[in-house]
């Protein structure tokens, strides 16, 4: 019998499903093979929009084949996620319900084309800038050489976000052997009426 266990990606997907609703504007910051893009497209439905970024045309091509032929709500952009603010229309800034990052290199692809600390942090800053109140950022970090530095750098940024405005969680599978991936999740506080 096939066993199903939780992993970093399935955890991130569950968090996204909890938050994203039909009609939402969302961003896949690392399209890769398109699994996250597909989930986001399903969650936002035909009335929402997914902006997807990758620096490799091959990734965008594979992702496009994964999407339903009728899917018109996904805008795949061949550009680094550090350019997200310039590509996403200003009217959507502050209205983005979720941004997903799945860092590292394209599985089955060129390992040298990987996310990098500097651009990842620029993109994270921009994602925080366009996130809606009540919105979510998920970041799956891996432990290859560049990945470890990236994981630490991401954590350092999240660690100092003001707790009145953001809740930051780190989820890890500490019984897994080796250096298992880590899922960071960042929730922007919703607006609320002050209680008397």
Ligand X SMILES: C[S@@+](CC[C@H](N)C(=O)[O-])C[C@H]1O[C@@H](n2cnc3c(N)ncnc32)[C@H](O)[C@@H]1O
Binding region for ligand X (CB under 6 A): 30-36, 53-56, 59, 80-82, 102, 104-106, 113-115, 119
Q: CA nearest 105: which of 137, 79, 139, 141? A: 141
Instruction: Report the nearest approach of ligand X to the CB of residue 72 (Å).
Output: 20
Instruction: Report the nearest approach of ligand X to the CB of residue 41 (Å).
Output: 12
Name which of 110 and 156 has its Cβ closer to ligand X.
110
Name which of 25 and 30 has its Cβ closer to ligand X.
30
Which residue's CB atom is positioned nearest to ligand X?
32
- 17: how many CB neighbours lie within 10 A of its CB? 14
φ/ψ of 88, rounded to 5, equals: -90, 125
3-class secondary-structure state, position 28: strand
Instruction: Report the nearest approach of ligand X to the CB of residue 106 (Å).
Output: 4
**Is 63 within 8 Å of 107 (Cβ atoms)?**
no
**Is 150 within 8 Å of 181 (Cβ atoms)?**
no
Name which of 24 and 82 has its Cβ closer to ligand X.
82
Angstrom distance (rounded) from CA 140 to CA 188: 18
Instruction: Report the nearest approach of ligand X to the CB of residue 54 (Å).
Output: 4
Name which of 32 and 135 has its Cβ closer to ligand X.
32
């Amino acid at each position: 019998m096939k066993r199903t266990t939780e992993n970093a990606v399935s955890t991130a997907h569950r968090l996204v499903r909890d938050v994203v609703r039909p009609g939402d504007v969302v961003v896949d910051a690392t399209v890769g093979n398109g699994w996250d893009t597909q989930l986001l497209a399903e969650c936002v439905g035909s009335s929402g929009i997914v902006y997807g970024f990758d620096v490799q045309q091959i990734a965008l091509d594979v992702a496009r084949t994964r999407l339903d032929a009728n899917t018109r709500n996904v805008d795949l952009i061949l550009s680094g996620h550090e350019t997200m603010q310039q590509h996403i229309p200003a009217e959507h800034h502050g209205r983005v319900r979720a941004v997903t990052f799945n860092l590292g290199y394209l599985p089955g692809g060129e390992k040298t084309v990987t996310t990098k600390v500097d651009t990842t942090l620029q993109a994270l800053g921009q994602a925080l800038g366009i996130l809606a109140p009540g919105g979510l950022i998920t970041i799956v970090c891996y432990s290859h050489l560049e990945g470890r530095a990236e994981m630490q750098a991401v954590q350092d940024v999240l660690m100092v976000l003001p707790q009145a405005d953001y809740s930051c969680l780190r989820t890890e599978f500490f019984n897994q052997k080796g250096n298992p991936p880590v899922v960071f999740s960042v929730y922007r506080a919703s607006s609320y009426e002050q209680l008397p």
